[in-house]
Amino acid sequence: MKKDLELLEYLEGFISENRKQRFLDILENRTKHFTVAVEDVYQMHNTSAVMRSCEVFGIQELNVIEQKNSKTIDKQIALGAEKWVDINEYSNNKTCIDVLRKKGYQIIATTPHNESCFLHEYDITKPTALFFGTEKEGLSEDVMNNADGYLKIPMVGFTESLNISVSAAIIIQDLTNRLRNSNIDWKLTDDEIIEKRLDWTRKTIKNIDFVESRFNNEPK
Ligand SMILES: C[S@@+](CC[C@H](N)C(=O)[O-])C[C@H]1O[C@@H](n2cnc3c(N)ncnc32)[C@H](O)[C@@H]1O
């Protein structure tokens, strides 16, 4: 971590004060208390729109399960969000569930069908991984059967469901808003903040490889 801090200090010399401050301000609002997982969402624009909502509302990690398709991100829809959100990719839904459980998340399947919990009644105390499914089939049986709970946005119209990215935006906005107004310890740790500052600063400097090699070759 000491070396990371020295490197960060060095690299921050190559970006503006405004940029540095913007990173700090945004990181103040980032959280890993909630994470989002999308399962086999073959339409790239939907995954990209979900990622954009994660970025805008401060969710730092997006988990992408792709058992059937290869490309997941449409950069024209993501509008650069892919640069600031961490994407964890999985080729298997069970692995994704296992990894997230080990990290301490409860697995919550979002679904228009199951009425076990309405969005506004959801207890936000525990770290939660929110799973979203495809337009046609929704979430797989694997995820539905392994979930610790189900979450539903109440609907009063004729149509059976919302679009995945619309439902993700509604759920993420509601839950992160409640989180920010709670006493829950939801912020990134100091070490996580340093790691992201380093990552984002690296992504901002054009000739980063050259700049970093100069730091590494300097006598310490
Ligand atoms: C178009 S819906 C899938 C509909 C699919 N025919 C089904 O039976 O689940 C796509 C995804 O959006 C989310 N979703 C849609 N409407 C929702 C609602 N009212 N509450 C919670 N999630 C919803 C779920 O993650 C769902 O898997």
**What DSSP state is assigned to residue 99?**
H
Report the distance separating Cα 72 and Cα 74, nearest Å: 7
153 is in an annotated binding site: yes
Q: How far is the CA of 165 from the centre of ligand 1 (A)?
A: 10
pLDDT given for residue 43 in this prediction: 72
Residue 219 pLDDT more than 90? no
Looking at the CA of residue 133, tell me the nearest atom of ligand 1. Answer: 27
Q: How deeply is 119 buried, as exposed, middle or buried, from its count of CB atoms within 10 A (0-12, 13-18, 19+)?
A: middle
162 is in an annotated binding site: yes
Quick one: angle between helices 208-217 and 190-204, nearest 10? 120
| CATH class of the 32-193 domain in this structure | alpha beta
pLDDT tens for 1-35 read 778 899 999 999 999 999 999 999 999 999 999 99
pLDDT, average across residues 190-212: 94
Judge if the beta carbon of residue 89 lies within 6 A of ligand 1. Answer: no
The mean-pLDDT minimum among 15-24, 37-46, 67-76, 207-216 falls in 67-76
Average predicted confidence (pLDDT) for the chain: 91
pLDDT, average across residues 137-148: 95
Q: How far is the CA of 102 from the centre of ligand 1 (A)?
A: 26
Residue 127 pLDDT more than 60? yes
Contact 25, 19 (CB under 8 A): no
Residue 71 pLDDT more than 70? no
pLDDT band at 82 (very low <50, low <70, confident <90, very high): confident
The residues spanned by each domain of the chain are 32-193
Residue 148 pLDDT more than 90? yes
Residue with CA nearest ligand 1 atom 3: 138
Rounded (5°) CA angle 32-21-74: 55
The mean-pLDDT minimum among 67-76, 81-90, 106-115 falls in 67-76
The pairs formed by 66-70 with CB atoms below 8 angstroms and a separation of 24 or more are 66/40, 66/90, 66/91, 67/40, 67/91, 67/92, 67/93, 68/40, 68/42, 69/40, 69/42
Q: Above 0.85 for ipTM, yes or no?
A: yes
Which residue has better confidence, 214 or 186? 186
Residue with CA nearest ligand 1 atom 25: 132
- Greatest distance between any 2 Cα atoms in the chain: 69
